[in-house]
């Protein structure tokens, strides 16, 4: 099968008796973000983070649907071929240019056209002003002649639900386009009726209406936004629009040849049944092939597979251009939007990914208790080291968790988390922490990583200090600027019990090191290890904040219940995209943990690549040794004689961190050993 349709959420238009003088067609957005990219404001409630430059035009709540005050459009705008100057908006999600309309449409959505909708209206029908935060706000973005008028349903609800969602209707100057923007959402399974109604017999609806699913996550930025673009005029006949090259970011040279794929949107009025697919690498000679088994409906998206695979000759970074031509054997009606480009990195090897799950929870959150139980049971069923997780205690509901910290708040803001229990997997999955399944985990683990990450930490409980050695080994040379995120966590806590019935809390973050911004990693070169040494000393003595309203001040106090119960979680993250490339739960070294009697044991050379000597000359009596890898697995063991040197051959060992444990007469010493190839 040359092509596979990935979704039909946006198929044929619904149009009834459209006039010849004016009409619309719509296209779904092909990438995430806001139309035109000129609205960069965060999506927060009025008074709760939304920029103060927005104007509130409708207050909440409204048990019965109601119209806003009449608003003036700040630029010339045409709807269905006629100039309009004013609009008003209902609390049921309807914007109308008929400002003389009296009765606002009800909260129960229906297919368009519908007699309850005024003529000349734009619909996000199914929204409802049911909570005190459910406000309609408006703002003008951009400069003439390219302005946009945004009308946002901020933190809106739906009848019968306590969830919240953010949507906007956007009017665009000069183009006269109308956008319906899906921005932010915490409503599970909610659907809407989306489209334009000209009159009681003529409407243009998004396919699936009145049951179009909401796609946005809880992210408060535009990173997850989708939109529907309603365009005035006659739709082009044959128009394949490039969305993205879908070849993997990183490819292993030894696994060539590679299938070349890309995603395209049918932006034309004709179904596309054949096309010529083309790609070139680093500006070289195009590789062309014709496929004739397509069936891509108007406004549908398809994944296209080129009939000829690609075999690179060496590792490196390659620029791949992919485009189509001759849809249905005809010239493309708009060839300017055919080509998509991507950089692909070919490497010699990849690392197995250890996904990181970041859980947002609170001891005052009733649903968090069963979610945490379900989640922990899932984690306990995994092989040690396959997956890692950490928890951030939050400041709501109610008074929040006493172990809430400002660094945890920064993590919440990074992901736009506004409800608990919540989980983020590798910065690319957002959802209910109790709804993570094994297939979801497996899907993330199956994604290869171009980073190897290991290290160890030591604890000095008396000094309240945690020291860390972290080794980052890129498996590809990249210009990416990444962040090394480090979190000291407590394996279990009991003093933060509140109202939800939980008595033990696991993997609770206590301190980010140095803070939530992490340590910047640059100049990443294939095979060149970067060692990062970090240390943090907890100040003052233990304190239990009364609630999240007065979180611990790390400058003078801490919330660590048992210093010998601390762990260190480390991950590498692209802070721009939020993607996490690798994680590791550091191995604890015995150094500094009260081991006595064998302080004179030494390793040399360290790092080593063939032979390593263990200096036992200051040790008396018989000894045993054990070598452990960074997953806690014993890879070698045996007996040794004090007063001598023990030689170990590590030439066949893989690169990474190991621990050499020497025991003699009841005393033990553990030393880290770095093997480098």
- Confidence at residue 265, expressed as pLDDT on a 0 to 100 scale: 95
Q: Are 619 and 642 in contact (CB under 8 A)?
A: yes
- Confidence at residue 10, expressed as pLDDT on a 0 to 100 scale: 32
- Confidence at residue 632, expressed as pLDDT on a 0 to 100 scale: 66
What average pLDDT score do residues 583-589 get?
Answer: 89
pLDDT at 17 over 70: no
Residue 675 CA to residue 677 CA, distance in Å, equals 7
pLDDT range class, residue 602, cuts 50, 70, 90? confident
Q: Are 269 and 236 in contact (CB under 8 A)?
A: yes
Token digits of residue 399: 């008074």
What average pLDDT score do residues 395-419 get?
Answer: 92
Token digits of residue 195: 């489209």
Q: For Cα atoms 488, 491, 492, give the angle at the middle one, nearest 5 degrees.
A: 130
| Distant-in-sequence, close-in-space partners of 368: CB < 8 Å, separation ≥ 6 | 361, 362, 420, 421, 433, 500, 502
Q: When comparing pLDDT for 4 and 310, which is higher? A: 310
pLDDT at 201 over 90: yes
In 107-220 the beta strands, taken as DSSP E runs, fall at 121-125, 135-141, 148-156, 165-172, 178-185, 191-199, 202-205, 212-213
Residue 118 CA to residue 125 CA, distance in Å, equals 13
pLDDT range class, residue 352, cuts 50, 70, 90? confident
DSSP 47-79: TTTS-TTSEEEE-S--SS--B---EEEEEEEEE
pLDDT in tens, 162-196: 789 999 999 999 999 999 999 998 887 789 999 99
233 CB-contact burial (10 Å; exposed 0-12 / middle 13-18 / buried 19+): exposed
- Confidence at residue 60, expressed as pLDDT on a 0 to 100 scale: 80
pLDDT at 433 over 50: yes
- Confidence at residue 657, expressed as pLDDT on a 0 to 100 scale: 79
- Confidence at residue 593, expressed as pLDDT on a 0 to 100 scale: 37
pLDDT range class, residue 21, cuts 50, 70, 90? very low
Q: For Cα atoms 78, 83, 89, give the angle at the middle one, nearest 5 degrees.
A: 75
Percent of the chain's residues with pLDDT above 70: 95
- pTM above the 0.85 mark? no
pLDDT at 419 over 60: yes
C-alpha closest to that of 569 among 449, 390, 382, 386: 390
What average pLDDT score do residues 560-571 get?
Answer: 97
Q: Are 9 and 220 in contact (CB under 8 A)?
A: no
pLDDT range class, residue 599, cuts 50, 70, 90? low
Unique residue bearing structure tokens 């190839």? 677
pLDDT range class, residue 654, cuts 50, 70, 90? confident
What average pLDDT score do residues 632-647 get?
Answer: 84
Q: What is the dihedral of CA 559, 561, 563, 567, to 10 degrees?
A: -80
pLDDT range class, residue 2, cuts 50, 70, 90? very low
pLDDT range class, residue 1, cuts 50, 70, 90? very low
| Residue 222 backbone dihedrals phi, psi, to 5 degrees | -80, 0
pLDDT at 225 over 70: yes
What average pLDDT score do residues 5-25 get?
Answer: 44
pLDDT at 117 over 70: yes
Residue 238 CA to residue 335 CA, distance in Å, equals 10
pLDDT range class, residue 316, cuts 50, 70, 90? confident
Q: How high does pLDDT run on average in the chain?
A: 90
- Confidence at residue 4, expressed as pLDDT on a 0 to 100 scale: 34
- Confidence at residue 98, expressed as pLDDT on a 0 to 100 scale: 97
């Amino acid at each position: 099968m040359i092509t596979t349709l990935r979704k039909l959420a946006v198929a044929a238009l619904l149009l009834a008796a459209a006039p010849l003088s004016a009409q619309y067609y719509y296209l779904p957005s092909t990438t995430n973000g806001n139309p035109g990219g000129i609205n960069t404001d965060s999506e927060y409630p009025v008074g709760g983070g939304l920029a103060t430059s927005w104007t509130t035009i409708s207050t909440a709540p409204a048990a019965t649907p109601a119209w806003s005050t009449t608003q003036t459009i700040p630029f010339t705008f045409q709807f269905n071929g006629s100039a309009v100057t004013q609009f008003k908006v209902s609390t049921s999600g309807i914007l109308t240019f008929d400002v003389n309309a009296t009765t606002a449409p009800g909260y129960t959505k229906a297919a368009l056209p519908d007699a309850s909708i005024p003529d000349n209206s734009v619909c996000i029908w199914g929204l409802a002003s049911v909570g005190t935060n459910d406000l309609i706000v408006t703002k003008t973005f951009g400069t003439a002649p390219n302005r946009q008028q945004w009308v946002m349903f901020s933190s809106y609800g739906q009848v019968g639900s306590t969830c919240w969602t953010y949507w906007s209707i956007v009017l665009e100057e000069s183009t006269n386009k109308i956008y319906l923007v899906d921005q932010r959402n915490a409503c599970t399974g909610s659907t809407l009726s989306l489209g334009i109604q000209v009159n009681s017999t003529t409407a243009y609806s998004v396919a699936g209406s009145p049951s179009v699913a909401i796609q946005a996550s809880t992210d408060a930025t535009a990173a997850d936004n989708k939109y529907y673009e309603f365009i005035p005029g006659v739709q082009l006949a044959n128009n394949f629009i490039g969305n993205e090259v879908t070849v993997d970011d990183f490819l292993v040279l030894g696994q060539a040849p590679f299938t070349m794929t890309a995603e395209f949107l049918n932006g034309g009025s004709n179904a596309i049944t054949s096309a010529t697919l083309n790609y070139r690498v680093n500006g070289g000679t195009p590789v062309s092939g014709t496929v004739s088994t397509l069936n891509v409906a108007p406004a549908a998206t398809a994944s296209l597979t080129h009939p000829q695979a690609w075999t690179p000759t060496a590792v490196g970074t390659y620029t791949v251009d992919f485009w189509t031509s001759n849809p249905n054997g005809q010239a493309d009606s708009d060839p300017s939007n055919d080509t998509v480009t991507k950089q692909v990195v070919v490497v010699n090897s990849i690392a197995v990914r250890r996904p990181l799950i970041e859980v947002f929870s609170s001891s005052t959150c009733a649903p968090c208790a069963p979610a945490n139980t379900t989640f922990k049971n899932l984690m306990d069923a995994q092989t040690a080291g396959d997956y890692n997780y950490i928890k951030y205690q939050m400041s709501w509901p109610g008074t929040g968790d006493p172990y809430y910290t400002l660094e945890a708040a920064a993590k919440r803001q990074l992901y736009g988390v506004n409800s608990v229990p919540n989980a983020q997997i590798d910065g690319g999955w957002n959802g209910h922490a109790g709804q993570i399944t094994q297939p979801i985990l497996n899907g993330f683990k199956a994604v290869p990583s171009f980073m190897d990450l290991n290290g160890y930490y030591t604890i000095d409980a008396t000094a309240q200090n945690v020291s860390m050695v972290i080794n980052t080994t890129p498996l590809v040379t990249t210009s990416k600027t990444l962040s090394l995120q480090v979190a000291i966590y407590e394996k279990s806590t009991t003093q933060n019990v509140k109202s939800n019935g939980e008595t033990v809390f696991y993997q609770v973050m206590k301190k980010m090191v140095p803070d939530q911004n992490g340590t910047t990693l640059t100049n990443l070169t294939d095979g060149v290890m970067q060692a990062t040494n970090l240390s943090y000393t907890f100040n003052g003595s233990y304190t239990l904040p009364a609630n999240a309203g007065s979180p611990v001040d790390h400058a003078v106090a801490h919330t660590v219940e048992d210093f010998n119960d601390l762990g260190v979680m480390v991950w590498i993250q692209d802070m721009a995209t939020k993607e996490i490339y690798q994680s590791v739960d550091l191995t604890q070294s015995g150094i500094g943990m009260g081991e006595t009697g064998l302080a004179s044991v030494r390793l040399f050379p360290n790092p080593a690549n063939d032979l390593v000597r263990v200096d036992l000359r200051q040790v008396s009596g018989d000894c045993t040794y054990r070598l452990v890898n960074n997953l806690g697995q014993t890879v070698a063991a045996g007996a040794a004689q004090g007063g001598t040197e023990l030689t170990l051959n590590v030439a066949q060992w893989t690169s990474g961190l190991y621990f050499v444990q020497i025991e003699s007469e009841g005393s033990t010493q553990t030393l880290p050993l770095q093997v480098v190839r």
